[in-house]
Structure 1
Amino acid sequence: MEQVAPQGLMDWYIRYTTVFRKRNTHKQKGLFLKSLEADIRGFRSDVAVDDFKLHEKDPYVYRNLYVGDMHRANTVICTYYDTPTTVWRPYRYFDVAQHAKTATAWIALSSFIYIALGFAFTALVGIPVLSHGPLLALWPIVTILAYIPYFLIMGQVTRGWPTRHTLVQNTSSVLALLDAAQHQTHPSVAFAFLDGGAANEAGLARLLRRKKGEATVYTVENIGAAGELYAVGANERRVARAQGFTPVNQAGDPRVVHLISATRSDQGFELTPAALKARQLNDANMEVLATFVESLR
């Protein structure tokens, strides 16, 4: 099987940290998946895209990308590819309620500030300009046109502004799995790139519903962060299997083991805002994951 040259790895890094750095909107995700699928098909053909909805009337379509024989595999290595919302607090693993609370508070604050700026512009500029002179003059037209980008941006603000700092969260894990998928081709191992991981874990839930039985699902998150490596899960045997990771037993789905880079505290596992904004990957952590994945059979 043809192997990707080292130059290909650099191409991936450049592409997924620049052109496809943000994967927030449906269009951005679609372009990312198209590029990812093309890259993977450069070294293997067993690739499939799974479109699904949370419920029948849901207008939003989620998309997972699978590599390998999902029916035959007894081990699935996965990560999410969507971009999280900008926050100002440390990222705490496994605390979905805290993620939702923090994101909601940030959206509420940024929306209030943005709307206040709109009112200020209207009071100080819009009303004085539009109330004096003909509407077809230069400045009234410029003022009216200024409201078009304002309302377009407002839609994004009220949905949550995607973070600009995506190298660690979670492009590092995407790159790690992309590289692993070209070297680990054993039929018992498959890979999955999941949608919705930064929001509601819809992609992981879909994978677990489709992959029934005793398969082990390793979820990789923020693997390139400057932190210690932990394998966190409910099944002691499966957790201990992750060589190079500190094993931690924690309640949850016994099929799932979380492979993370984090700082451990009394509150659990977390990454500081500074760690999430890092501009350099932790190559040692990436190598530990690569060695573990290559050892799987």
Structure 2
Amino acid sequence: MSRDELLKDWYIRYHLILGRRYTGKQKKSFLQSVFTDINQFRKDIEIDSFKLGEQNKQEYRNLYIGDVKTADKVICTYYDTPAIQLDSYHFFNLAHRKRVTMKWIGIFSLLFILLGVAYTLFIGIPTFQAEGLWSIPSVLSILFYIVYFYLLNKITRGWPRKKNLIRNTSSILLILNLIYSFKNKKIAYAFLDAGCTNNAGLDQLQEQTNAAIYMVDSIGSSQPLYQVAKDPKLFVKEDSVKQVQSPAQEKRQILYLISAKEDQDSFVLSRENIRENQLNDVNMNIAYDFLEKVIGRNF
């Protein structure tokens, strides 16, 4: 398969087929697919399963290509996708991210509960009273409640968002292209879990490596590209990617490569940007060139 054919195949698979990566089952299917794809041309792949503390039942999974423990640099992104919400995406603001997610889960749950109450008052109870339990209308009402409570359970956990090309499939496609193109023992790659929730995957990676980390996030949007870091030594000379030194970043070893709108001291992607259905080819090419400079030509 040629390089162009491979890129098209990845686009179809990870945007159209495996574009939702919210539930444990969806994320597991994604990791199995990526593992199989990369294994065709690289064998140094590892899936790291972990939990946050012994009492936490939630299991997370990172996928590493190369040795993150001995690498000088790790290029990474998160692979999970968020629940449906109608707010903008605020980079680096974990508290805002959690607050927005809980807000919209609460709103959608409340609306769905009200729908169930209205159905019960105006259709369910009158149907059972008039038709009895074993009539066709009553059986249909019972089927409605089975489907209703199944969907309510899904909604209270967060309904997976459908449009995730920008956040964050664009970054996944870019890193897959890099893995295929460049192999350097001093460079490792990582696909991280929980980037849309609590950054568990990134925290786990930081505990396992002393390498400089280059985190790619939502680079396929129509907004400009920025490189954001606390340590200016991580910056890459690239005219098309503005350098922003951010003292607010807690970790000195991370540089973020993002596509966003700069808003005073913060970076934001609007709802409209997040819902874009087409990749910004200019950004994708610039980001590729940027990370090629990070990797270096020491093969």
Query: What is the TM-score normalised by the length of structure 1?
Result: 0.95
Residue 5 (str. 1) matches residue 3 (str. 2)? yes
**2:277 counterpart SS class:** coil
Residue 224 (str. 1) matches residue 220 (str. 2)? yes
Could you tell me how far 1:242 is from its partner in structure 2?
Answer: 6.4
The number of residues matched between the two structures is 293
**1:149 counterpart SS class:** helix
Partner of 1:209: 207
**2:130 counterpart SS class:** coil
Could you tell me how far 1:124 is from its partner in structure 2?
Answer: 0.9
Q: 2:49 and 2:64 mapped to 1: Cα distance?
A: 11
**2:235 counterpart SS class:** helix
8 A Cα contact 1:243 1:292, kept in partner: no
Where do 4+ consecutive residues of structure 1 move more than 6 Å? none
- For structure 1, the 5+ residue unaligned runs are none
Residue 273 of structure 1 is aligned with which of 262, 271, 274? 271
- For structure 2, the 5+ residue unaligned runs are none
Residue 236 (str. 1) matches residue 232 (str. 2)? yes
**2:74 counterpart SS class:** strand
8 A Cα contact 1:184 1:293, kept in partner: no
Per-residue CA deviation, residues 161-187 of structure 1 (Å, 9 max, x unaligned), is 222110000000011001111112011
8 A Cα contact 1:76 1:190, kept in partner: yes
Query: What is the TM-score normalised by the length of structure 2?
Result: 0.94
Question: Which amino acid counterpart does residue 14 of structure 2 have in structure 1?
Answer: Y
Partner of 1:72: 70
Aligned CA RMSD, in angstroms, stands at 1.4
Q: 1:136 and 1:104 mapped to 2: Cα distance?
A: 40
**1:131 counterpart SS class:** helix
1:152-191 matches, within 5 Å, as: 152-191=150-189
Q: 1:71 to 1:241 in 2, by over 3 A?
A: farther
Residue 106 (str. 1) matches residue 107 (str. 2)? no
Per-residue CA deviation, residues 169-220 of structure 1 (Å, 9 max, x unaligned), is 0000011001111112011111000000000000000000111x3x110100
Q: 1:102 and 1:51 mapped to 2: Cα distance?
A: 27
Partner of 1:139: 137
Q: 1:115 and 1:107 mapped to 2: Cα distance?
A: 12
Q: 1:154 to 1:54 in 2, by over 3 A?
A: same
**2:131 counterpart SS class:** coil
Could you tell me how far 1:114 is from its partner in structure 2?
Answer: 0.5
Could you tell me how far 1:4 is from its partner in structure 2?
Answer: 5.1
Could you tell me how far 1:51 is from its partner in structure 2?
Answer: 0.3
Question: Which amino acid counterpart does residue 16 of structure 1 have in structure 2?
Answer: Y
1:6-25 matches, within 5 Å, as: 6-25=4-23
Could you tell me how far 1:243 is from its partner in structure 2?
Answer: 6.9
Could you tell me how far 1:134 is from its partner in structure 2?
Answer: 3.3
8 A Cα contact 2:236 2:290, kept in partner: no
Residue 243 of structure 2 is aligned with which of 247, 262, 265? 247
Q: Percent identity?
A: 37
8 A Cα contact 1:232 1:258, kept in partner: yes
1:122-137 matches, within 5 Å, as: 122-137=120-135
